[in-house]
Amino acid sequence: MPVHDRPLTPAARRVLQVASELFYERGIGSVGMELIAAEAGVTKKTVYDRFGSKDALILAYLRARDERWRAFTTGRLAEVAGARDRVLATFDALGEWLATESGRGCSMVNACAELPDPSHPVHGLAAEQKAWVRALYADLVGDGVLADQLLMLHEGAVVAFSVAGVRDAAASARAAAEALVPRRLSAAGP
């Protein structure tokens, strides 16, 4: 059974939580396994026994954060009826997420920047996340070109918020999406 498929022990959950906070706040390259072990209150051997390598721990961190983001987004969309309103709700959810969870920007993009080799598994994981967001928009609007435009608004809002300090970036992206998305989208979708 692959390491990431095994259930997490309490110690492993603590390691993942600590690693996630440190990787996101300080950067992957700035955080060593010794620091993670010390902050989690476990031995370095425990970290390696559970995760195998720093790369595996990085992937576990990114997967867990992505799962939280997807659950958060789909939860917000479940509260809204109508395809157009659901598209717009993605930007409301993004604004909430940015304000509470993502001051340093997208963890996937940050990881790709720190691990620039395109063959590193973080690049595939990041591509999967972006494909999920694009597919979400495509399912809602039934138009690949419009889905691409909405993805660009979404990603641009993340960058504007985290890099340029535009605190209402998601609201601005929502306003642009409102102009792009046809009013004729029905409650059932495209």
- pLDDT for residue 53 is more than 70: yes
Enumerate the domain spans of the chain: 1-52, 65-180
Going by C-beta distance under 8 Å and a sequence separation of 6 or more, which residues neighbour residue 121? 55, 59
User: Is it true that domain 65-180 has CATH number 2.60.40.10?
Assistant: no
Place of tokens 């987004």: 73
Residue type, 149: Q
Task: Express each pLDDT in 115-131 by its tens digit.
Answer: 999 999 999 999 999 99
Task: Express each pLDDT in 116-174 by its tens digit.
Answer: 999 999 999 999 999 999 999 999 999 999 999 999 999 999 999 999 999 999 999 99
Q: How far apart are CA 54 and CA 96, in angstroms?
A: 30
Question: Do residues 94 and 162 touch, judged by C-beta distance below 8 A?
Answer: no
Query: Mutual orientation of helices 144-162 and 121-141 as an angle, nearest 10°?
Result: 120
Burial of 2 (0-12, 13-18, 19+ CB in 10 A): exposed
Question: Do residues 54 and 60 touch, judged by C-beta distance below 8 A?
Answer: no
- pLDDT for residue 95 is more than 70: yes
Task: Express each pLDDT in 70-90 by its tens digit.
Answer: 999 999 999 999 999 999 999
CB atoms inside a 10 Å sphere around CB 9:
13
pTM score, whole prediction: 0.91
Q: Residue 103 — pLDDT band, cuts 50, 70, 90?
A: confident
Tokens of 43: 């031995």
CATH number attached to the domain at 1-52 = 1.10.10.60
| The predicted structure's pLDDT at residue 78 | 97
Q: Residue 180 — pLDDT band, cuts 50, 70, 90?
A: very high
